[in-house]
A = this chain, B = another copy of it.
Amino acid sequence: MTRFLPRLPFDDDRMKEECGVFGIFGTSDAAAHTALGLHALQHRGQEAAGIVAFDDNQFHVHRSLGLVSDVFASEAVMDRLKGHAAIGHNRYATTGATVLRNVQPIFVETDMGGLAIAHNGNLTNAHQVRQDLVKQGAIFQSTADTEIIVHLVARSDMNDMAGRLVEALKQVVGAYSLVALTEHALIGVRDPLGVRPLVLGKLDGAYVLTSETCALDIMGATFERDIEPGEMVIIDGDGLQSFHPFTPDQHRFCVFEYIYFARPDSQVEGLNAYEVRKFMGGELARESGVPADVVVPVPDSGVPAALGYAEEANIPFALGIIRNHYVGRTFIQPSQHIRHLGVKLKHNANRGELAGKRVVLIDDSIVRGTTSTKIVAMVRDAGATEVHMRIASPPTTHSCFYGVDTPSREELLAAQMDVAGMAELIGVDSLAFLTVDGLYRAVGEADGRRINEPQYCDACLTGDYPVPLVDRDGGYGSRQLSLLDEPI
A interface list, Cβ under 8 A from B: 28-29, 32-33, 35-36, 39-40, 42-43, 46, 58-63, 67-70, 72-73, 75, 78, 80, 107-111, 113-114, 131, 134-141, 150-151, 154-156, 183, 214, 217-220, 263-265, 267, 272, 274-275, 300, 303-304, 307, 311, 316-319, 322, 324-335, 337-341, 344-345, 348-353, 481-484, 486-487
Contacts and interface: CB of A to CB of B under 8 A. Distances in A.
Nearest to A59: B483
A32 B332 contact: yes
Given A274-B353, A482-B183, A483-B107, A303 B319 contact: yes
Contacts of A61: 483-484, 486
Contacts of A344: 217-219
A440 to B, nearest CB: 20
29 contacts: A29-B335, A29-B337, A32-B332, A32-B334, A33-B338, A36-B345, A39-B326, A39-B331, A40-B324, A43-B324, A58-B482, A58-B484, A59-B483, A61-B483, A63-B486, A67-B326, A73-B329, A80-B484, A109-B481, A113-B482, A138-B138, A214-B322, A219-B338, A263-B322, A272-B351, A274-B322, A274-B350, A274-B352, A317-B317
A186 to B, nearest CB: 16
Contact of A218 (B135, B275, B345): B345
A481 B113 CA distance: 8
A41 to B, nearest CB: 10
Nearest to A90: B326
Contacts of A108: 139
A328 B109 contact: no
Given A219-B341, A303-B319, 5 more contacts: A36-B338, A61-B484, A111-B135, A272-B351, A307-B317
Contact of A114 (B322, B351, B483): B483
B69 A327 contact: yes
Given A32-B334, A138-B139, A69 B348 contact: no
A256 B483 CA distance: 38
Contacts of A324: 39-40, 42-43
A326 B219 CA distance: 17
A479 to B, nearest CB: 8
Contacts of A68: 326, 328
Contacts of A340: 220
A134 B107 contact: no
Contacts of A135: 111
A328 B141 CA distance: 30
A36 to B, nearest CB: 7
B69 A483 contact: no
A324 B107 CA distance: 29
B274 A319 contact: yes
The residue in A61, A69, A263, A351 that gathers the most chain B C-beta atoms within 10 A of its C-beta is A69
A328 B345 CA distance: 19
A155 B140 contact: no
Nearest to A57: B482
A328 B264 contact: no
A166 B80 CA distance: 42
